[in-house]
Amino acid sequence: MTPDLAEHETAIVNEIERFADNVLRPQAAAIDEEARFAIAHLQALGDMGIMGMNLPEAYGGVELSGPALYRAVELIAGACGSTASMLTAHFLATDSLLIGGDEALCERFLPAAADGRALGAFALTEPEAGSNPADMRSFAAPEEGGYRLKGSKCFISNAGAADFIVVYAKTDKAAGARGVSAFVIEPKQMEGIEIGPHEKTMGLRGGHVFSLTFDCHVPAENRIGAEGTGFRTAMKVLDNGRIEVAAQATGIAAAALNDAIAYAKERKVGGHPIADFQGLQWMLADMATDLAAARALGHQAAAKRGGRDRYSTESAFAKLYASEAAWRIADKALQIHGGYGYTRDMPLERYLRDLRIFRIYEGSSEIQRTIIARGLLA
């Protein structure tokens, strides 16, 4: 079930659904098999305005509402998880600018990001600072005209092809989270930025992630917001990102459920479709209930997106439940397919591999439980 959308949003979502079905889905297996970077779809996504769905019209974006954006991401992920991963990583970068940056910085980077001319990346995670970004070691020291940025990041989606990367680093080592600031670096133009080969991941094999190291000069005008505001910006960005992870999870889960239903109607045992068997019907009922609950939490969080009030708890609810429910749904879908589901000729094993990371990145399930508990106990 999708919340009511404005008429123009419905038209956009319908166009995205056609694109997902006709372009993304037929290529998804090959992208996974060949570990082909999903930026192959970048220009088409840009031409359709999809790269700027989260941005206001003033910066060339489509400015979809939270619920419409949720549905769009869900459709893309259901067709190709790797493409959705590349897209939403780009959103993390542009949201960082939109939330924390001044007008001049937004005007420099966002119009090109909105139409696909520039790809963004979001660099927060470090080898020894994952679930607790306040432990980061990357540091930006003042120097003439800006900062000397030194450090390293890991598991950074899109970094190998990014035109701009939002990097979070300490400007005050003694201040903990309050000492974190945000900067935009341009790896294709700045010296001192090294990006490693993409990691060989279990799933989302076309949504490439990279390590990067840097010892580079960053102009003062590339700082996002005031010094010390970076951590607050990152947490607001992740509130949005976790809703998008939930949308990706429910999109893949919906694809798995639809495949299971179709197979159950076709597959016969003893002359009867296996859909006639009560045990299997109950499996499908549980899958559909899990999906409906995950979507409800996702829609609840998405409806708050862009509002004045924080929605950290709602986004944590959505990501936690959707990422874990989607795994259950895809696992049952594979079980319904039996031995055929275990082969790589069917997409079930890809769904499971793609879904596994959702319980880890942008805040693990354990971190989501911590966020929820803190809200309860505040």
Half-sphere exposure of 115 (CA within 13 A, CB side): 7
Angstrom distance (rounded) from CA 129 to CA 154:
10
Angstrom distance (rounded) from CA 324 to CA 310:
24
Q: Which residue has the tokens 């980077």?
A: 109
Would you call 362 a catalytic residue per the annotation? yes
Rounded to the nearest 5 percent, the helix, strand and coil shares of the chain are: 60, 15, 25
Q: Is 217 helix (H, G, I), strand (E, B) or coil?
A: strand
Cross-strand bridge partners of residue 167: 123, 183
Catalytic residue chosen out of the listed positions 15, 194, 362, 366: 362
Q: Is the Cα dihedral 290, 75, 351, 368 positive or negative?
A: negative
Cross-strand bridge partners of residue 193: 214
Residue positions counted in the chain: 378
Catalytic residues: 362
